[in-house]
Structure 1
Amino acid sequence: MSARVLRTTLAALLTAALVAIPGQADAADSKVSGGRLDWGLKTSFQNYITGPIAKGEYRLTGGAATAGSNRFRFHSATGAYDPGSGDFTAGYSGGVRFTGHKKEGGDYELDLLIANPKVEIAGGGGTLYVDVTTPAGTSHGVAFADLGVGGLDTSGGTTRMELSDIPATLTAQGAKSFAGYYEAGTELDPLSLTADMSADKPDTKPSTKAGDGEFSGAAVDWGVRRTYREYVVGDIAKGSWSLTEGAQDGGALFRFGEGKGFWDARKKALDAAFTGAITFTGQGLDLTLTGLGVTVAKDKGTLTADVTSAGATTEDVPLVTFAAKLSEKDGLVRLDETPTVLTAKGAAVFGGFYPAGTDMDPLWLAVPVKSGAELPPLPDLGEDVAATQPPASIAPAAASSEVDADGFMPAAYWIVAAVALAAVAATVLLVRRRRPVPESTVTEEKE
């Protein structure tokens, strides 16, 4: 199929890339199926949360991932696109929970979950909607930010849309999510997205079988640990990872499939072995995990793997444990986003960078106990961004200070912040001690 890349320059230098379908300007609406949205909310807010005043963290949930410095990646776009008008809607999955100012008893004065962003572009304007959860409850579909898309022409038909560095401005409704400490009109971080149309999406559903307690076609999804992945590709290890033997990469999760084993419905016990391998390489790093297995008995589960490091292989190493109350629904025995904890032997696999008892990435498990049961999909990041000519993008935003002029400052901390800011700025600039693997200041969401 011939393709052309359309670029439309906005006043704000926003650009779009559309892989066009000749002759489809008047075609019926297309469905959006797959793609990613990268957005950091507001860099100064992130810095404040993880800084010395709030002493907080952010956690990822629903398969969300990080995408480089200060950006979160949301996945599995669904929506619609009208080639005639250019109207476009895409909703993405995943969330980020920010907590800070921990109180006695374990609660937080600041507790904010931003999830399931949705972008709507119509009539020359654009809006970003999100689900917002605070201790007071959840508000769905909050019109959180106005998007600077004036002048963007998305009509004409496309199999794939890319929008890069879309300016975002906080709305009055969005400002309420920050208890008024950011005013309406505040500039947020720009966002970028891709969205694939469903016409060319292949059917990749795996076959599943079950009978007399035996099953095949199961899958286990696990990301190891987000900070470990960031360490591997970061400035210290300068490495990468590769997937072989059928393992898949879902952004925040790796899927190991073709699981076979036995399910004891009476005892709620499970024994499963999966295919797939992942290899992490970098400076001073060569680690392969393969032959993953999951056993569950008496509501406790263990994830094992064959571990190869420095040329030596150790089989069936228990990496993490997890709570596992198993039950059947829709022909599947499932665990969704289950917290995992590193074992002592697992700690040795990672060179002692993480001590035993460290929270690792959550785990998903899907075991077909009825033939033909459909496995849940991995996060769908859409087609490879490099598969088409990349759009130009606006210059990156200037680096934010620890707390900038419009930074998030709860009223109770104004006095403390005023005294501390000068020292904080000096400390951030002058004292930056690198550790081999980041501490767990920033962790993933646990249910």
Structure 2
Amino acid sequence: MAAIRRSRRPLALAAAVAVALGAGALAVTSASAAEAPLKDYELTWGIKQSYRSYVGGMAAGSFTPAEGATQAADNGAFTFAGGTGTYDSDTHAVRLGFAGSLKIASKLHGFDLTLSDVKFDSGAAEITADVTSGGTTQDDVPLADVTVTRTMTGMETKLTKEAATVLGSASYEGAAGDPLTVVQKTPPTQSPSPTGSASSSTSPSPTTSTSPKPTGSASSTASPSASQTTSPSASASETGAATKGDIADGTLGWGVKQSFRTYVVDGPAQGKVTASGGATQASGNGVFTFTEADGSYDTDADTLKAAFKGAVNFKGHEANGSYGLDLTLSGLTVELDGGTGELTADVESLGKTSDDVVLANLTAGTSDLKAEDDVISLDDVTAELTKAGAQAFGGFYTEGTVLDTVDLSVALSDDAQLPDGDGDGDGGSGNGSGTGGSGDSGTTSGTTTGGGTTGSTTGGVTGALASTGSDVPAGALGAAAAVTVAAGAGVVIAVRRRRQA
């Protein structure tokens, strides 16, 4: 790893910082005692969501917190505890150092680094950490500039040039990082004394700094209303639908995998996603809707087979007009029997095609197939990657990896009304609405790139995930040696070594 130069910035924001601190923090009794001790603070920061998705996804790597550091569930943000430091009553600057370390490693993409001695300085408006890689440690590497707020919760961050070097991609320099929260773990026993700040008259209660709203957790408590409307007790006999026959129409909502979409559009691939042939993509690099289903069903035997029109293409790692990643999924078919089954697709990668590749094993929430108003709907069907599916993705995901969930609706008669696609398909994505509904053959396609979405799908990638440039992480440059040939499926995804400029 190249040498990392530490750049210190002046304390430009120090005079504007006024923080709700613990009981003893502001008990300064003389001018010579301008600095008061602080303790029991926690720092929570996820670095960058798209970077975590890259490490846990395409890089097949891991995050290992230690020595008191922790990571939230579902590849979430990191928390460093045991924060101690000082508060300067003259400048209102808070300087804290935290216990714990975080190891970030990927054998596949060839990187292994550890962050430790994480520090936050509100006066310098930055986060720093010691970075160890290849047996060498660089002290106090500035990782992000921070837009400091009085409450120190949900503060905006911007990754530095040094962070881009640490994370292995020049595209991260200047990119928005995850929000930062610094709070005192032990509730203070009394309110802090005002220190002359203009904002001191609006000081929050003593519990404000110790009970921040969790960042990035709003979607985790949202109730999946779509799945609640499909009651297992709905009876096919209520509508008089035949118990078996041919499917008249249908839609399939599936995002493949949220971390893969992020990797392609916002992550190291710096590429694009294109839906075509009747398939559409929800705004904000959301999930896909495939339309115009045909096939057959039998509600007595609880079996269903439905094939859908539309295709989705993933391109990335562009070099001199060619792509190291060029993957197309089309001809998606769902087959269920008693609540379990398979999702298959035709897979084309870098000019090689395999038909009817079993990508995922499916498990529905119910084994009964029942129609309501001549429509069978199944929401939040669990999808797990098969061995052939893992080969189709070049070995970057392992067999058994949980993919985005599947939402399925099929019409049993020509006049049945299909529900609108909710664009969910993944509990972790929450990216707006799909365009399913009637499955109209006139639906046009759209392309999602790092700069937004073109075509019929509106919207674009939002701030926290946006990144610039097209450089591949340093670890990924060596991935050519790890190219996987899908012998069983005949599919190859090759991440070509980028040619030197």
| TM-score relative to the length of structure 1 | 0.43
- Higher percent of residues as strand: 1
| TM-score relative to the length of structure 2 | 0.39
**Bigger-Rg structure (1/2):** 2
Greater relative contact order (CA < 8 Å, ≥ 6 in sequence): 1
